[in-house]
Structure formats: C-alpha cells, structure tokens
Structure 1
Amino acid sequence: MSSLLRHRRLQHCYIYVCLALFIVTSLYIQIRSFATPYSGILVEQNRSLEWTIAGIQNDSIAANWNIAPGDRIVSVDGQPTPKIFTAAQEKMLVGATRIEVLGSTGLPRLFIVKPTIEDKLENGLAFLLELFLIGVGGYAFLKKPGSHLIHRFFLLNVLIASTIITLFSDEIEISSYLFSYCAVWLPYVMLSFYLLFAFRSIYAKFRFLLMGYLAYAFTCSAFTAFFLLRREVYDWVSHLLNIVFIFTLLLMAGITAFYWNKLDRIEQNQLFLLFVGIFTSLMPYVLLYALPELLRGSALIPAEYVLIGLVPVSGTLAYLLVQRQIVDMKFYITRLSVHSLYYSAMLVLFLLAAVWDSLLYAAGLFILFGMLTFGYQRLLLRLQRQENRKTEWLEHQKLRLSLQLAEKKNIRDILKLSADLLHDLIDVEGLTLVYMDDNALPLVYSTGIYLNTLTPGTANMPDNNDWSGSEKYAQVIELSHGTEEPKLGYLCLGLKTNHTLLSAEEHRLVEKFRSEAIQMLLNARQTFRLRQEYEQLNKVQAAHHERRLRDLQTYSHMALEAREAEKIRISYFLHDDLLQNLIFLSRDLEELYDTGKYERERNATWLKCLYDSQRSIRSLSDQLYPHILDKGDLQEALHWLLRDMNRLNEVAVTLQYEAPVPEPFPSFVKTNLFRALRELIVNVFKHAEATEIYVRVWMGKGSLYCIVSDNGKGFSEATARPAAERGSGFGLMSVCDQMEHLGGSADIDSVPGQGTTVTLKLPLVKEITAND
C-alpha cells in the first residue's frame, strides 16, 4: 500500500485534489463573505430566554448602526432564533442578512447586513494574493512535476493562501475551522520544506523530528474536528498555535546554526537565502502579533496584515526552485538579502505608524526610517562596485572574442573582394587566395572550379601549408615582398578557359593584383600584431598585473561555483531519479514478499526501472569522467564521444586522427584536451544546428593541433557579446582559458550561416612543462 502512495501518478492526483478542494472552499468563503457577511454582533440570552445584543465588535458592519448592548433581537431573516457561532466563549450572530432589533425607544428597527467598501477591498486583496500564491505554486509544479520538493512547496503555498483568505474573510464558520487546520499544518509543512530544501543530503536525520510534528498536527486536527461538531472555537487554541509557530522558527534557527559549518559554500548560499527570506517575512508576525497576543492578550497588528510578507518570498523561492541558477547566485544573493531586510523593516515601520497615534512616536519612526534608508543606499553602492569588479573579467573575455572574430571577418572580406575582382579581370577556370598565420590555420577563398573544395584543417589541404608544389593549379605565386620578408600567403591560378597561356597584359594585371593584395594583407596583419603588442605591453605594467590577478580570482570563483553547481545537479539527479526508482522497487518487493503474489506486468515495470537506472548511472559516470581515457588513447575517446553524441545519426560525423602512437603528451594533457574538445563538440550538437561536423587531430611544427568544424548557423562578433552576457558563451571562454593555462591557444573563426571552426594549438611536452 505504501508503494502505491509513493507512485508519481497518485502524488499528482493528490496535488490536484488539494487544489480542487482549495478552489471550492475559497469560492464558497468568498461568496458567503459578500452574500452573508459577519455583522460583528455578539449576542446572549436574558432570563426570559430572549436574545439580546451583548456587544458590538470594533470596525465591524454593525459598528455604524444605531444599536447598543441590551437591545433585544426580534427576528433574524424572519426567524425568532438567530444562528449562533461560539468562539472564545463569545456567541456571534452569523449567517444573517436582515436583523430586526427592538431598542430603548420601544420601536423595532430593521437593519440590512451587507459588506462595506472596505470589506470589498480587503476581500479583493485577499483574492489577488490567493491567485498569486496558487499561480506561483502551480508554475513550479508544472515546471518540475516529479520533484517532492516542488510538491511540498505547492502545499505550502496552498496553506498560506488558505490562511490569508480566511483571515480577510467576513465569513466566520468555515473560515474559523479552515484557519485552525491551516495553522496546525503550516509549521510541519514549512519545517519539512525548509529541511528538504537546505539539508537534502541529511534529510533522513530529521525523520523523528518530523514524525513528532506529524503527531502534533494529527492530534490538533482531531481536536479541531471535535470543535467543528460542537460549533465552538476556544481561545487557548490560538495561543497554542502561536507558541508552536514561534518554537518552529527558533528550531529552524538552531538547526541552521548547528549545521552551518558542515555545509560547503554553495549550500550555505542556498540556506542563507532561504533563512533570510522566511525569517524576514515572519518577523512582523512574531513581533507584532504572536508575542503581543501571548504576553499582553492583544496584538498590535491584525494577523492578516503581518502575514502578507510571505507572498513575495514565495515568488523568490519559486524562481530558485525552478531555475536553480546556483552559478550566478553569488552575484545576487547579497543584494537580494539587503532588499529583503530593508523592505521588511519598512513594513514593520509602516504597521507601527498605523497603530501608534502619538506624534512623538511618529517623529522617532521618521528618524529611524531616514537612518535605515541612508544605510540601505550606502550598502547598494558598495554592492554595485563589487559587482562591477566581478564583471570586468567577463567583459574583457567577451571583448577578446569579439576582436578575434572581427579580425577574421576583415581578412576574409579582403580575400573575397580581391579574388572575385581578379577572376573577373582574367579568364581562368578558377583561383584560390590563401592567407597564412603562424598561430592559426590559413584562411582560404576560392572561385570557379575550386569553390568549396578546400576546407582548412582537412586532408585536402597541402601539408605544412606549402602550396608551392600543388599540382591542381597552373601557377602558384607566393605573396611576399621578398625572400627575407614574412610570407603572407599564396595566389593559386587555374588554367585559362581556352587552355592557353596568360598574355602580357594579364601578367601585368596579376602582378599589380599581387602587390595590392600583399599590401592589404600586410596592413591587416600589422593591425593584428599591434593589438597583440599593446596587450603584451599592458601585461608588463604593474596595474595590469593586479587586474590580471583579480581576473584569475574571479575565474577561479566562477569555476568553483560551476563545479559546486554540478555537484548539486548530480545530487538532485541521484535523489529525484535513481533514489526514487530504488524506493519504488523496494516498496514493491516488500509487498511481493508479504503477499507472495507475482504479476507479470509489474515484473516488466521493475525491469524497465532497473534498465533506466543502469542507463542513468552509465550516463552520469561518463559525464563525470570518461573511463575510456584510462583504457585507450585520445582517438578511442573521441570515437566514443562522437558516437555517443550522434546516437540518432542526425549529423554527418568525420574524425581524422593523425597524432603519432604512442601519444607524445602526458595523461593530464590528454584529459584536459579531451574535456576541451568535448565542450566544443557538445556545443555543436546542442547549439550549432549543424548537419556536418569535422574533427581533426594532428602534429605539426612542434605542436599538437585540434580542429572542430561544423556547417551550422555560426555567429558573429555582433551576436557573440549578447550571448556571452546571457551566460551562454562561458563554455568557449573556459576552453580558451584552459588552453592558455596549458601554454597553448584557441582560435575561433565563425561566419553566420556558414558554420564555426575552432582550432586548438598545444605545445609539446617541453613547452607545456615550462608554462605549467
């Protein structure tokens, strides 16, 4: 039976039943509040067994009538006996729309019970708060319907919404009992949600504590049902609920303080945010309602107003539960805490100003308001400066990426313009214009029959980038001012369409074009080198060294946040996936052991559950560390990665591995290189929308080269910066930084609509060791 109760479909039905009951109950309370609101009249019977007015509550509907205690009630809705509800030994007249009263003048008077404008506004506010809370809980449930934490959060929102609507309601009977039930169960649900959210890994340690709260909740629910049958509510019930609520808050604070040092920094961030949110929202209730009610017998502020602070906290928790953005929590948790504390303090000051009528108190509250606002503004300025320093590193990385893409685009435009112009001037079958760079693969542009036949980094490119001996062209011209000058590239001409030699005029045009192309490419290279020299010059300066240190610290913090976020993701995966499957299997096996009944369909369900668990464990293990790196070389690991990513065969995959065997680099280089390549390959499959992917690994010029190229949608420097600002470019930046730490470099070349090519250059072992 317990296994059935843990079934996800039954849990969903339980959520839907709770939602349906809440909707029906809240609609009934709202309708009764407008149709037959509570008039505020307290009644009693005299010696003649006649019903008389015993008192009139302040701020009630009857407070505006011309009636007084002792007046006799002639009839209520045409009946001589009124409908009575007893609460705290006071008899309330409820469910009345027309009340006939005989006063001291001896003349009967008829009063119509209808809600005032203030009552309508309060009920409207309660309805809006109810919609917000249920909407937030429903949104979280729809986003993650299988999470037990989300189920608990949804129930917490339902209880808070029910509590608020009963407190604002002018319907007495159902609202009183519903409020009692909600107040009984609210401490248990709030405590269990708090422990499940902040102490998920040790949640089982609090099993007996939660069982004690469950026993208390069921016992109080039984008493509430008994009071419901007797149509009475006692004053001590309210005191008990306040005591339990305060005790629960103190217990949560004690658990938080006890386990604080045993949590890592990310878990402390979550716990701090949850703790501040709950306590700042409930402090007005404790200080202005619960404690004054217990100590002096009357609250400073009505309960319905002090509980409104729970509404914004619910929205914040829903965002954290659904998005779970732990990586960037460090950037907003402090600011969010300051905002919460300030606005909670403002709420307390506002409520106190509404209660205290003294001018002296008002002046003191005004001074306190000014001091709090001043401190709040200073804290915000300080936090803003800290956040600006934290974002400097990201801005610098995004600028570098944008400049690199812009330089590639500039050179590519020069090649295209020049090649197309020359092809129009001389009648050849095609030509190829090549730009060489020592730190990256050559940029190639072809026309005519050579169009789309050459791809940088592939096997159809000349070895060692030496084009002078290529047999595909009729003539290959080196682009340089002389043998001592740096080589900028090649101009490769095909045959003329009539298979004749070039004329003297055509030779003159080719030579003039060669000179102009050399000058344009030399200017582009010089601009690129000047930027590099400028960066090197800044690195020498002391100020830049300090900034670089801050950048490295920021990156380390972000990497730590990312690693901790991955741990949390794995924890949620183990709990919500594998653990749930194991619980499901253990409960069903226990039932099978007890009953001895074997069902073939259930056996198939068990096998599917086991297979899913095996697949999940294998996938998680491969994500953490691919053990194929220990069993084989980098080539086998890349074959496995591409085969795993392309399970649906939606992308044409090509792997060209030309590194020597055995591999001439240590194992730590192999591991880091594989992680960088995996990041690039995963990006292609997830974001590039490509139909082809090409991966090549080869050795050349004392370095190891890796290239990942695709024919996807690509990107430009104009789109790279907004994407990086949204956080989607962190993977590319981490690859670049990882290569720099290994003494290598990463070159990114992308054209919108034509794909992306990323080239990794890693020095051999001696150079790596020196840089490392």
Structure 2
Amino acid sequence: MKKVNIKHHIFVFLALLFFLFAACYVHWQSFHYPYIGVGLEHEEDKWRVSRIEPGGKAEELGIILGDELVALDGKSLKSRSAAMIADLNQVRTFTFLHQGQEVSGKIDSQDRYKQYFAIGVELLLVGIGCFAYFRKPESHLIRKFFTLNMVLAWIILTIYSTELLLSNVFLAACSIWISYLLLELFVQLIFTISPVVHKLFATSRVMLACFTLYTLSMILRGQIPGWIRDVVLVQLLLSIGVILVVGRVHWKRLDRTRQNYLLILITGIFISFLPFLFLYAIPDLLALRYLLAPEYGLIGLVPFSATMMYILIKQRMADMRLYIPRIYIHTLFIAGVFVVYLCATAFGWSPLVFISFILVYTGGYQWALKWAHHKIHGRQEWLEKEKLKLSIQLTEKQNNRELMVAFAEMIQDVINVDGLCIMWSDGHHRLAYCTGVYQGTEEVLQAEDGSEDRLQQRYSFSKVLRIAEGDYVCLGQKSNHTSISAEELQFLEKVTRDVSQLLRNAQVLSDLQQHYRSSTENLKTDYVLLEAHQSERIQTSYFLHDHILQNLIFLSRDLEELHESSVVHRPKVKLWLQCVYDSQREIRLLCDQLHPHIVDKTDLKEAVQWLIRSMRDRAELDIKFQYKLSPDLVLPTIVKTNVFRIIRELINNTVKHAHATTLTLDIWTFRNVLHVRVEDDGTGFDVAELGRHNKGQHHFGLVSIHHQVAYLGGDLDIHSEIGAGVSVHIGVPLLMEAHDHVG
C-alpha cells in the first residue's frame, strides 16, 4: 500500500520548507542579538528594571529590580526612541548601572553553544519525523507523528530564540496544541476510535483554535497574561494523567501487542517529560522557584520522539515486559536521587547523611540492574546454548566424515584400486563415502540393505569387508588387474577394526552426551514448549497487526471520509480493492504458516510439489525433487506435517540467504527411517560458527529445525563450507515411541 495522496507530500515539503526558512532567520538573530530578559519602566528620564525574566542575560549578570539601563550598543539612550528602548530588540550589547558599577553584557560562547545544541535537537526531531514519514507515508498515524515532531521542533526552536515576537507567537501556538496531539496519537495507536470520541476530538479542536487565536491576539498587543502559561502547563499535566489512567483501566482488555505499545509509550512519556514536569512545570504552578530552565527540561522530547518512532516503524518487538523493568530502574534511580536531594535541602541533612543515602540507593540500583540484565538476557543465553548443542552434534558428525575420508585415502595409497566405498551407520542414518569409479553412487548405497555377496555381485566389488551389522568397506578392482594379496587383506582387516573402533567410540560418546543432556533438560521441557507456543502466538499477533490490521485501519479511515463527504473517487476505490486483495493473500499466507492445510488433503509428495511450485513463482531457483517413498507407505500425521514444515523452512532459508541457483531435494526411507536431504549451491557457511557468539548470525531457523527433529526422535546433520553450498540431512523414525506424540 505505497500509493499516497499527493496532498500529503505537498504538506510535508511545505512544512519542512517553512521550518527551514524560519529556523535560519531565528538562529541568525539569536547568534547576533542576546536575550536580555528584562522589563523596563521610564521614570524621571531614567529607564529602570521593573521585571526580570528567567533565562535572560540580565539574570545571569545579577541585575536586580531598580537597576538603571544606561547604554545600548555602546551608545547612550538619548539616541534611541522610547519604543526602541522598551522593546530591547536587535541589541548586540547593553550596560546597566548595578549598585554603582556598570555591568555590560553581550553574546558569549555559552550562548552560541546553546544555539548549536538547539540546532542539533531540531535536526534530530525533524529527521526522526521525516524518516518515519518516508518509511510509511501511507499511514495516517505516521502523518500524525510527523506533525507532532514538527510541533516539538518548533518548540525547541522558539524556546532557545532571542527573536521575541515571532518566537512567542509560534511557541504559544505549539504549546497549546502539543497536549492535544499527544492525546490523539495515544488514542489512535491503542484504541479503535468510536464516533463519540471523534466528536470529542472535534470539539476539542474548536476550543483549542479559539484559545490559540485569543493568545496570539494578546501577544501581538504586547500583553501576555500569566494565567495562559499556567493553563498550558495544566493542560500538559492532564493529558499525561489521562494517558496513564486510561491505559491502566483498559490494560486487561488489550491484546499483547497493544500492551507492548502502551508500555513503551508510557515509559517514553514518563522518562521524557519527567525532568520538565518535576523540575519546571510543577514548581512554576506552585509559585516556587523552578530547579531547571524549560529549555533544558524539554531535551526529553528527543527520546520521546525516538520511542514513538520505534513503535510506529519497527513494530517487531519482543515481549516488552522483559525490557521495561530496566528502563523503569533507570528512571526510578534518577527520580530517587532528585527526591533525596530535595529532602537533604528541606531538612538540612549533613553531607555525611546525604552521601550515605546516595551510596545505599546506588547499591540497590546496581543490584536491580543485575536482576534486570539476567532477565533480559535469559532467552538469548538459552538460544546460545541451543546453538552450541547443535554445533557440538554437527562437529561430531563432521569428525566421523573426516575419519572416513582419511581411512579411504590411506587404503587408496596402500592398495592401488580404481575406487572404494565405505558404508557406515551412526545409529540414526547411514553414511556412504565413495572414491574413484564409484563416486556418485553414495545415494544408492545408502539405501542398500544387502549382504556382502549381494554388494559384491551387484556393484562388481573385488572385495567386501564387513565392519559391523550393515557396515562395510567395499574395494574395487586393482589398477594392475591383480588380486588382493594375503598381506594386503590382513592390513585391511587390522585397519578396518581400528577405524571401526574409533567410529564406535565416537558414537558411544555422542550417545552418552545426548543422554546426559536429555536427563538434565527433562525438567525444562514443559517450559520450553510453553515458550515456543507463546512465541508462535506473539509472532501471529505481530503478523495480524503489521499487515492485515493496518490494511483494515487504512480502509476504515477512507471509508469514514467517504461517509462524511459522500463523494466516490475511482482511484480510491481501486486502492481499496487492492487493499482487500492484499489482506486476502496475507490471510492465506498466515493460515499456511499456522497449519499447512495442503498436508491434510494429500500425501507428502503432492504437498512438497505444491510447495515447489509456489517457491518457483517467488524466486528464480531451479529445484530438483526426487521422491522415493513407496505409494503404499502412509506416514504418521505428525511426521508428515513436521517434515513438510522443515522442508519449507529449509527452502525458505535457501531463497533468503544462500543466493543459490540450484536446490536438490531427496526423500527416501531406510530401515523404518524417513530421510530428507536438501542441498544447494549457494554461499554456504561455517558450521563451527553455530556455537560461537556472533551477533550478526542468529541461525534461529536451524535451531528451530533441530528442535522439531529432536522432538520427533530424529537426527539432524548439516554439512557446509563457505562458498560450497549447504547440505542438510534429517532422519526421522517412522516407528516412534509412545512419548513421541502430540498430546
């Protein structure tokens, strides 16, 4: 849904252009002319200070009521009119007579640093708004968020400005509307807006527009009542209070996704506006001296904006209950230090008592952080352990393969034959390694279940040595066409016994490790399964919210406009139909992901063929499929469904990550074990990396496949090298034990 009405783009570009010109003008003024921050009275041909504004140069220099202004720009006041003196606009330097001494002020480096800081904050706010808009310009919520960000940027621009008239106009207007925009965005993000709420918002807009016009008229007259600022501050406090109360009341009625949104939103508001509310707004309303100037208190607008962008753009959050505690801990620590400071000031604590409180509080803060860190990283540690387990198993199999290769090369060097084959079963599936003229017959030999004589007759081996039940070393003809001597045969038998013992020992060690892991993890099985189900539900919720729900919201907004205007536009109808078609397609996709219904209607072969056809429509990948199961074989439903899901995941991995051109899929049975092998010619990866902490490679899919195969009582083997593609082989028993079923 990327088609956007051109009027939205025009609005955005005009807003940015207007802000750019205004910012250039305001900052140019602020770099040249200081904010003096006084009110003057003309009496007995002298201009005396009658009012001192907070944050001005006069307050910084220690000017007090009754001090006399004696010069502007290095010249006496006689050269200026009364209106110019009272206005104090565009003045570079000024001089007051303070307690019998002349005190002068002008723009200094600190003022310039303030302007640079303001420019940086403005760029961040505008940049966040633009990034969000151009990522999702079709979203109504994103456009609201862009408007909110522009209002925040105007507030920062004007609150640091020394150009008074223009700044006062825009600061007043933006301050009046910020609470409404915040509340509206909260309601639209968390709830479905009813017609009654629509009417309430419309009434609020009318009232705020009247209040804004009245305030601007008073500013233009030069008369700004103090109660206007109080009303704006109370309005902000009430809007934040409404968000907290409404969110708490409706918490249990919200789904998990919206609960996550609400948690992030409230946390962002709490952290961002906490300094401004407690250090400026509340003391100012109570007629107390504020502890932090508003221009510093409003710095929290940047993290608030970033938090909102995270909610609206990313929308792929894990359960935020894991992360919110740490944010709360930081916030409570900052608030607690502030409370301790106020108590020390109010009750006259000695420095020793104050430091003791801070040390104890910091110790509790560090303990709480460790607890939150452990909770946050619990799942990540679990994933790393699973990757390590998978890496150990794959390394064991790789060692067995390399031992077979070394065994074959040693025989080839001692006995000059035209080829040989080693057949070995590790208890789950059979491995075959062939050299010389027998290369390429591994797949056929893996399915063989015959005796030495049958193998020798069928494949023209000169000698077949039995290692164990079903395991053989098969030699081809000698290159000089002579028979294998007694000494060579004796050497072969000795080496075969030694290598067989090494392979058996490796397999016993692997089985013991697997048994130990199973015995230590039995108590965690229910929790892991519960987590897996919960993760699947969360993923489904995100899919519904990010795709289908967004389309329905888009439709509802436009249909509301249609209901109000009664005007039908054909391009919009076409867009609505496309939205419906997209939703239908995404619902089908979600249904297939939750449960592949094709598996219920047909056998595994036809289901995989359907999957291959759908994959060919999505990606340019040549898929070669060989299905060697007997038509009379009926797979258990749980095996068929999970094997289909595994195959789908493996093919999806190839399409997404491997950059492959060819994929080979083979399915066969051997000794009541269903075998599936998926090979591609893609980029491959280092299997040893699975067990290492690598933030860039998570391998969630492989860990998931490993768990599915293990749950079915099967075995997974992955062979891959960088640049040499990937070969994944799974074996699933068809005669599962009683505990290997889904309850």
Same fold (TM over 0.5): yes
Q: Partner of 2:274: helix, strand, or coil?
A: helix
Tell me, what secondary structure is at the counterpart of 2:328? Answer: helix
The separation in 1 between residues aligned to 2:402 and 2:206, in whole angstroms, is: 76
Q: 2:724 matched to 1:735?
A: no
Contact 1:411 1:521 in 2 (8 A): no
Unaligned 5+ residue runs, structure 1?
85-90
Q: Does 1:82 align with 2:83?
A: yes
In the alignment, does 2:123 pair up with 1:131?
Answer: yes
Cross-structure match for 1:24: 21
Cα distance in structure 2, aligned partners of 1:123 and 1:93: 20
Query: What's 2:237 paired with?
Result: 246
Q: Does 1:167 align with 2:167?
A: no
Residue 172 (structure 2) aligned to one of 174, 180, 188: 180
Cα distance in 1 for partners of 2:200, 2:627 equals 60
Pick one of 358, 370, 382 that aligns with 1:369: 358
Deviations 1:629-685 (A, max 9, x none): 343333222112121122156222122334445662454443333223222221122
> Which secondary structure does the structure 1 equivalent of 2:286 belong to?
helix
User: Counterparts of 2:614 and 2:316 in 1: how far apart (Å)?
Assistant: 27
Task: Tell me the distance in 1 between the aligned counterparts of 2:263 and 2:8.
Answer: 30
Name the amino acid aligned to 2:210: T
Q: 1:273 aligns with which of 261, 264, 268?
A: 264
- Residue correspondence of structure 1 range 332-731 to structure 2 within 5 A: 332-346=323-337, 360=349, 366-387=355-376, 390-442=379-431, 444-451=432-439, 453-454=440-441, 456=443, 462-464=447-449, 468-469=454-455, 473-475=459-461, 477-481=463-467, 485-493=468-476, 495-497=477-479, 500-502=481-483, 504=485, 508-509=487-488, 511-513=490-492, 515-537=494-516, 539-540=518-519, 544=520, 548-550=522-524, 552-554=526-528, 556-557=530-531, 559-577=533-551, 579-580=553-554, 594=567, 612-647=582-617, 650-661=620-631, 664-722=634-692, 728-731=698-701
Instruction: Provide the secondary structure at the position in 2 that maps to 1:250.
Output: helix
Q: 1:231 to 1:322 in 2, by over 3 A?
A: same
Structure 1 residue 727: deviation in Å?
A: 6.8
- The aligned runs of 1:292-303 (5 Å cut-off) are 292-296=283-287, 298-303=289-294
2:91 counterpart letter in structure 1:
A
Question: Is the contact between residue 133 and residue 142 of structure 2 (CA under 8 Å) also seen in structure 1?
Answer: yes
Deviation per CA, 1:573-617, whole angstroms, max 9, x where unpaired? 1233454367558867997x647xx87x77776765565555444
**Amino acid in the other structure paired with 2:112:** K
> Is the Cα–Cα contact under 8 Å of residues 75 and 82 in structure 1 kept in the other structure?
no
Q: Could you say what secondary structure the match of 1:646 adopts?
A: helix
CA spacing shift, 1:147–1:445, aligned 2, 3 Å: farther
Structure 1 range deviating more: 25-34 or 57-66: 57-66
Cα offset, 1:56, TM superposition: 4.6
Contact between 2:40 and 2:49, CA under 8 Å: does it hold in 1?
Answer: yes
- Counterpart position of 1:221: 212
Contact 1:684 1:710 in 2 (8 A): yes
* Contact persistence 1:156–1:186 (CA under 8 A): yes
Which amino acid in structure 1 is aligned with residue 473 of structure 2? Y
Amino acid at match of 1:529: V
Q: Name the amino acid aligned to 2:610.
A: W
Higher deviation after alignment, 150-159 or 368-377: 150-159
Equivalent residues of 1:43, 1:52 under 8 A apart: yes
CA distance in 1, matches of 2:353, 2:205: 45
Native 8 Å contact 2:416 2:478 kept in 1: yes
Q: SS state of the match for residue 670, structure 1?
A: helix
1:233 counterpart residue number: 224
**Does 1:158 find its partner at 2:139?**
no
> Structure 1 residues 413, 312: closer, same or farther in 2, change over 3 A?
same
| CA deviation vs aligned residue, 1:144-163 (integer Å, no higher than 9, x gap) | 44444444334333333332
Following TM superposition, by how much is the alpha carbon of 1:248 offset from its aligned partner in structure 2, in angstroms? 0.5
Alignment-derived partner of residue 61 in structure 1: 57
Deviation per residue, 1:140-183 (Å, 9 max, x gap): 44544444444433433333333233223333222222221221
Q: Judging changes above 3 Å, is the alpha-carbon distance between structure 1 residues 65 and 249 closer, same or farther for their aligned structure 2 residues?
A: closer
- CA offset at residue 303 of structure 1? 1.7
> Shift of the alpha carbon at 1:27?
2.5
Q: Residues 547-583 of structure 1, C-alpha deviation per residue, up to 9 Å, x if partnerless?
A: 5423642453254134313312321212334543675
Which ranges of structure 2 fall in alignment gaps of 5 or more residues? Answer: none
Deviation at 1:329, TM superposition (A): 4.0
Partner of residue 761, structure 1: 731
Comparing 417-426 and 275-284, the one that deviates more: 417-426
1:102 & 1:586 partners in 2: Cα distance? 65
Contact 1:692 1:710 survives alignment (8 Å) = yes
Deviations 1:24-67 (A, max 9, x none): 3223222111212222231234598x866534546633454999
Q: TM-score, normalised by structure 2?
A: 0.86
Q: After superposition, where does 1:324-335 map in structure 2 within 5 Å? A: 324-327=315-318, 329-335=320-326
Deviation at 1:242, TM superposition (A): 0.9
TM-score (norm 1): 0.83
Q: Secondary structure at the match of 2:406?
A: helix
Q: Specify the SS of the correspondent of 2:455.
A: coil
Conservation of the 8 A alpha-carbon contact between 2:447 and 2:670: no
CA distance in 2, matches of 1:562, 1:685: 22
Which secondary structure state, in structure 2, belongs to the residue aligned with residue 82 of structure 1?
helix
Query: Quick one: distance in 2 between partners of 1:663 and 1:13?
Result: 65
Q: Is the 8 A contact 2:429 2:673 kept in 1?
A: no
1:272-291 correspondence to structure 2 within 5 Å = 272-291=263-282
What is the Cα deviation at residue 256 of structure 1? 1.0
Matched residue count: 736
Deviates more, 1:412-421 or 1:340-349: 340-349
Deviation of the 1:316 alpha carbon: 4.4
Classify the secondary structure of the residue corresponding to 2:270.
helix
Query: What is the distance in 1 between the residues matched to 2:456 and 2:132?
Result: 63
For residues 303-342 of structure 1, the aligned pairs below 5 Å read 303-319=294-310, 321-327=312-318, 329-342=320-333
Q: Distance in 1 between matches of 2:645 and 2:608?
A: 10
Q: CA 1:371–1:588 in structure 2 vs 1: closer, same or farther (change >3 Å)?
A: same
- Cα offset, 1:332, TM superposition: 3.0
Aligned in 2, Cα 1:405/1:201: closer, same or farther, shift over 3 Å?
A: farther
Alpha-carbon distance change, 630 to 445 in structure 1, aligned in 2, over 3 angstroms = closer
What is the identity percentage for the equivalent residue pairs of Structure 1 and Structure 2?
28
Matched-pair contact (CA < 8 Å) for 1:436–1:487: yes
**In 2, Cα distance between the equivalents of 1:340 and 1:690?**
49
- Once the two structures are TM-superposed, the CA of residue 184 in structure 1 deviates from its matched residue by 1.6
Q: Verify the 8 A CA contact 2:140 2:554 in the aligned structure 1.
A: no
Structure 1 counterpart of 2:398, which letter?
Answer: K
Report the RMSD for the aligned CA atoms in angstroms. Answer: 4.1
Contact 2:417 2:475 in 1 (8 A): no
Aligned to 1:767, what secondary structure does the other structure show? coil
> Whole-Å Cα distance in 1 between the matches of residues 266 and 666 of structure 2?
51
Structure 1 contact 488–521 (Cα < 8 Å) conserved: no
Q: Aligned AA for 1:532? A: D
Cα distance between partner residues in 1 of 2:136 and 2:450: 54
CA distance in 2, matches of 1:741, 1:503: 47
SS of equivalent residue, structure 2 residue 106 = coil
Partner of 1:93: 88
SS of 2:83's partner is: coil
